[in-house]
Each structure stands twice: as structure tokens, then as C-alpha cells.
Amino acid sequence: MSKWKEVSASGRERLFAWLRRHRRRIVELGKTCLIIILFCSACFLADRSGILGQGGFSTVRENVTAWLRGGESGPAVMSGREYATAAKPQVMAVSPDDGVHYGAAFTSEVDELYERFSAFLGEALGTSEQIIQLTTEQWLAALSRRGIYFDFAVPQRLDCLAAWQQTSVPWDTENICARRLFLSVEEQDVRLYFAVEGSGAAYCCDTEVEAGALSTRMERYQSNGAYFAFEREETDRLDADVLIVPAADTVRGVSGTAVSFVGRTETVLQQFGMNTVTATSYQEASGTAVYLDGYSTLRIQQDGLITYEREPGQDLPEFDLRGTVSLPELADRLYSLTMELSGNGGDCAQLRLLQADYDLQNDRYTVSFAYFIDGMQVCCGLGPAAEFTFAGGTLTQAALCLRQYEFTGETQTPLPAVQAAALVSASGGTDPVRVYQDMGDRVTVSWKMG
Amino acid sequence: MATSKIKNLLIYILLFVNLFLLALLVSDWLQTRRSQHTVETEVQSILTNSGITMDHIRLPDNTQVKSYTLARDYSAEADLAESILGRLTVQELQNGNIMYYRGERGEASFRGTGDFEVLLTNHAVPISGDTVDTARSVLRKMGVRAQFAPELSTQMGKTYSTVVMVWEYEGLPVVNAQIQFTFTSEFLMMISGNRMLDIQREDDTFRPLDSATLLTRFVGIVNRNGYVFSELKEICPVYLSPDSSGGKLTPLWRIETDAGSFYLNMTTGEEQPVA
């Protein structure tokens, strides 16, 4: 035991001697450790106290990481191409049971419903097969069953509808356009029904959508009195597959002004691929400024309307479509152009794709955009917000009626849908569509005959 | 020597900063506690006047809850499939955004809607312990946190033939993302459900209403819709996964009463359906 004491005593003496020799270095090391601990503690306390902003250190870390990566943000996501703009339905119905409909029409609620069910529509389009042509009676019978009804108000190409859901239709759609589609839940299966515009024919196809998953998402909806025109005698003069949603509501008052291009002429010319240096210009008696550059003619009217024309067959590199551009990609490109010129349409309006179509016979593309406020399209007497025509692989015509809208703080009570349906059918129309009507000096809510 | 003096100065500065931040935190904490207590008292009196009791209920701290944007990440999905199926031999993107996987232990399909189904080969995952333990061990391999939901599971004798787990993120249940494990008497046969998509980034625009406002909004909803109940049992934050193949992970309040559960959107204060 004494030997052990001797050994430990001598060990302690050596330790103390070593400490005395290296006292300064140990103190400095201690200070360094203390600085590191205090720094980490300060960072922790700063994060907890919110001094670094709402995201705290995680935001700072993300920003630094993004800077080090050269601007990349977030992990790579292998998803299909997502488009900046896509057509959306203006009327939808969820039928949780046969003959029971929960409908939404020309309101922002349609957007919420579409967000809930658009993935199923994409899956149905992407897995559609065994296409069968139907009679009108079979189409209407399907609408009475359980399912989801989509009405885009304007015919949409099926391949575009699928592309906007990051998928593709597995059969040759041959440019089929459909305005109204219906996902029918039939026991264990889900079938896709659609009515083709122009021919009036209806089709259905099998899909691989899971009936159980779709039914679960439909469960929460109950009837709100919505019905199809064919289900009631008083609406039998309308198109049979029009959905009437009787719920009375108020809409927000809106005012509109033209977008000014004063001082932005160069931007407009550049957007249309015109050379700002070599283009010549003159003013018409009406005050319209006209710009000429080669085969392109651009007019900017005093009320803000822009029209563009180019001789067909004259290539325009910025808008050369040959070979590679799909219709949704073209729509995205034109959407960017229109947004660059107009912004989004003010505080309350949203610029949205209305239609993207391709006429195979004439090799002509048409893409049009409209403003939407609270789910309702804004109709202007001068035309849609923007319309572009491509022929022979290049842009030949464009007309832009760009506006800015703001809420006035007032509300309007539009004619209820049931009365509007009666009025429209008495006037010889078959399809009532509720819109904001922009008459230049004022914007009102009205029903137009579709 | 100069270095030593600089270090001393740094230590003094950092000490001062730490003390300042600590004082800030403590004062913030005290203020929050005081206002929380005031809020709880006021709200309790509002509810009592409406004939609803809420004894011993602690209001959640909404500032701690965050929202996130989600999107479908195919590589994360493949990792998930591989964790269940073993080495993947087939990985195929089919029409309609359906991803099909086949591995050593079975096959799986994942859809753009978030729904998925995994069919396992016989005895690929034998029951170990009981079915709930087996389900938990599979979840650990998947890297998924989830809570067992006995009320949604199917009991058979002393065990569960179907075990339902509710997906969890940051400790909060994602109410509409459930995983169902279906067992035979000996092994796990199938895993199905709706998965929570993959986190992309925090949503900086998320601004939750404070607890008092949310509770007041809830009282308004109860009065407007004529809901009848007499006791609030629990209020806790939960998440709602988006419906489509992308969107935001939305924080909600789940309010348990003696007549059922209600869900309130933390941003709008509106009732939120979760089915």
C-alpha cells in the first residue's frame, strides 16, 4: 500500500510540475475553448430569441448552402415537367352518391376542388384505355352517378390536360378536345367519360384510378342543391350537361384600368423579337403608334391594346416552333411574355391560360389567356387578355388587351344561377356562364350565353 | 501577449452578448407566460359562458409549429420502396404518374395522389413479437415516424390483424396520411395507405393565428353551425397533407370534445375538413 502511495504521489508531483511548466499554454487553450463555447451558446440563444428572423439559423444555413452551391436551392426533385400555367375548370361537381351533387361554379371554390381532384384526373388520363363511344343518353346517365365532374368552359386538348398533370395520354388523342369530363366511380372501377366538342360525341374509357381512394376523398361532400340541366324540366332547353348551382352569393366589386406602355415601347418591341434600332415607326390619326421591322408590324393603341402581325412563312427565330415545342411548353413561353408586359393584372386578378389549341389541317396553333378574379373570367369587349396565333411554325398574329384590376371594397349581387339559366334559355342560349364584364369605364358581373 | 489580450476581450464581449440574449429570452418567456395565462383565463370565461368546460387544457404554442412545401421526390420514393422490398430489380414510371417497383421481397406501386400499395411475398416479413411491434420495426426500416392508431386498427383476439399507423412529422400526426399493415397469422402481407410527400422547404409565409383568436373563432364556428358539446378535452396541433401531388403541409388544431373532433386551420381559423 505504501508503494502505491509513493507511486501516486510522485505521479501527482510530475503532473503539477508539467502544469507549472505549461501553465500559459493551458490557460490560452482554456480561453480558446471558452470562446468557442460562448460563441456556440450565443448562436443558440440568438436562434431561440428570434433575432435572426423567423427561420432562425435554418434560414441562414439554407442561404449559405445555396450560395456555396451557386444558387441551387433545395434537394433535386425528379418530377415531371411542371408548367407555369395550365387551364383550370370553371365549374366542378362532386357527386358522392347517384343523383346527389355538390357543385361549385365560377367561384374560387372551384380551384380548391380542382386542387383536390386534379391528380386523379391526371391519373385517369394517363391510364385510360379501351375507349368506347357512347350515346348522349349514356353520357347523361353517367353524369347522374357517383363521380367528379369537370367543366373547363372552353374545350381543352386531352393531351394538354394530361401534360399539365405531368403525364401523357397513352393513345393517340388525334387532337381531341373536350370541355366536360367526368370521373365515374363504378363499384371497384373508375371510368373516365368525356364529351368531344364539335362532334357532340361522348366517349368513356377504363382507368387504373383506385375507386376506394377517390371515394374516400368524396365522402365529405353533401348535396348543395346543384343539378344538371337534364335533371329538371325547367332547364331542359339548356345544354343537358350544364351544371346549375343555385346557391346565392355576392361577388366583390372590381375596377379596371388599361396597362400603360408609356416609356416601355422598347420592352414591347423586344418581346416580339423586333429590333429596336432598325424598326421604323409612325403615328396614325387615331393616335395609334405603329412600328415596322421587316415583316413584323406592331400597333400600340392609346387604350393599351397591342396587335402584332407578321407575314406567314417568314421565320422568326424567337418563335420558331418547328420540331420541338409542345403546346404546353408554348403556352408557358407565351405566358412569360404576357406577364413581362402586363404583370399579373393588378392586386386581384390572375392571368390564366384559357385555351391552347392546334388545328392540324391548317397547321395553326392558338393560345389565349384571360384574367380571372375570384374564379370568374373577365370578359373584355376588345377580346381576351392575350391571344396568339402561330401558322407555318411561327408567330403570325397576336392581340393583347392588358388590364389592371383592383377591388373597390363594394359587393355586387349577381342574378342567381336558376334565374340566369331561365333568362339565357329564353334568349335562345344554352349555356349560362357567369363572368366579370369589363366595359372599360366599369366592371360588372353578368351572365353571358355560352 | 497581444493574442491573450484579444482573447480576453472576445471573452468579455461574448459573455456580455450571452447575458443580453439570456435576459431577452427570459423576459420573453415571462411575458409569454403572463399573456398566455391572461389569454387562457379570458378564453375559459368565454367558453364557460357558452356552456363549455375546458378544465386542465393547455393551449398549444402556435409559434413552434411550422409549415412546409411538399412535392413528390422519385428518388426518396425509391429509397422508401427499397427499404421495404429489398434490392430493387424493377423501377418503372408507368402512365398516370404511377411508379412501379419490384424487389426481393415483393412489389409496390406509388401514385401521384400519394396512395401506395406494397404486396410482400409470403414470409418476407414474419411477425416478430406481435403485429404492432412488427409494424413498428418495418417503419423504422422505412425511416418513417408514425403513431399507432388502435381506434382505426382491426383487433382479432389479443392481437391486431390490421395495424394502422398515422404518419408523424416533427412529432405531430399527419391526420390524412395513414399506413395500414395487413397481416396473416404468420407474416405481413400488405402495406398500403396514403404517404406524406417529401419535404422541400419551410414555408416562410406561414403566419398562424394566436391561441386566443383561434379559440374565439372556434366558438364562432360552433355557434354558427349549431354543434353541441359540453366539454373540451384536448387541443393539439396536427398536420394535414395536401391533396394533390404537391402543396403545403398545413398545420391545424385538433380540438377533441365529448362529441367528436374538430379541426381548425391555424392560418385562417376556419374549420378544415380532413377526410
What does CATH list as the number for B38-71+198-275?
Answer: 2.40.128
Interface check A285 vs B, CB under 8 A: no
**Which A residues 36-75 touch B at CB under 8 Å?**
38-39, 41-42, 45-46, 48-49, 51, 54-55, 58-59, 62, 73-75
- Best B6, B8, B14 member to test A by mutation, with max A CBs in 10 Å, is B14
Q: For residue B190, what are the β-bridge partners?
A: B119, B182
Residues 114-133 of A with CB under 8 A from B: 115-120, 122-127
Per-residue pLDDT tens digits for A283-339? 888 888 999 988 889 999 888 889 999 886 666 555 665 555 678 888 888 888 888
- ipTM of the prediction greater than 0.95, yes or no: no
Size of interface A-B (CB pairs under 8 A): 128
Counts for chain B of helices (H) and strands (E), in that order: 4, 14
pTM attached to this predicted model: 0.80
Q: Which of A243, A239, A148 is nearest to A194 (CA)?
A: A148
Distance (Å) from the C-alpha of residue A434 to the closest C-alpha of chain B? 27
Three-state secondary-structure class, residue A7: helix
Where b means 16+ CB within 10 Å and e means fewer, A239-256 reads bbbbbbbeeeeebbbbbb
Pick B96's closest partner by Cβ from A73, A74, A126. Answer: A126
C-beta atoms of B14 and A35 within 8 A: yes
How many beta carbons lie within 10 A of that of residue B253, not counting itself?
Answer: 26
What is the average per-residue pLDDT within A214-220?
Answer: 90
Fold of A254-408: TATA-Binding Protein (3.30.310)
Contacts of A41 in chain B (CB under 8 A): 14, 18
Stated as kind and residue range, the H or E segment containing A342 is helix A327-342
* Disruptive mutation site among B73, B244, B268 for chain A (greatest number of A CBs within 10 Å): B244
Q: What is the mean pLDDT of residues A168-178?
A: 83
CATH of region B73-196, choose from 3.40.920.10, 3.40.1400.10, 3.30.310.160, 3.40.605.10: 3.30.310.160
Cβ separation A77–B200 shorter than 8 A: yes
Cα gap A331→A84, rounded to integer Å: 9
The ranges of chain A annotated as CATH 3.30.310.160 are: 254-408
Domain spans in chain B, listed from the N-terminal domain onward: 38-71+198-275, 73-196
Residue A173: half-sphere exposure toward Cβ, Cα within 13 Å: 22
Q: In 3D, which of A334, A390, A340, A336 has the Cα closest to residue A362?
A: A390
pLDDT in single tens digits along all 275 residues of chain B:
688 889 999 999 999 999 999 998 898 888 877 876 777 677 778 778 777 777 777 778 888 889 998 888 889 999 999 999 999 998 888 888 899 999 999 999 999 888 999 999 999 999 988 999 999 999 999 999 999 999 999 988 888 999 999 999 989 999 989 999 999 999 999 999 998 888 878 888 888 988 878 888 888 888 888 888 888 889 999 999 887 666 889 999 999 998 889 999 999 898 888 86
**Beta-strand (E) ranges in A243-301?**
243-244, 251-258, 280-283, 289-293, 296-300
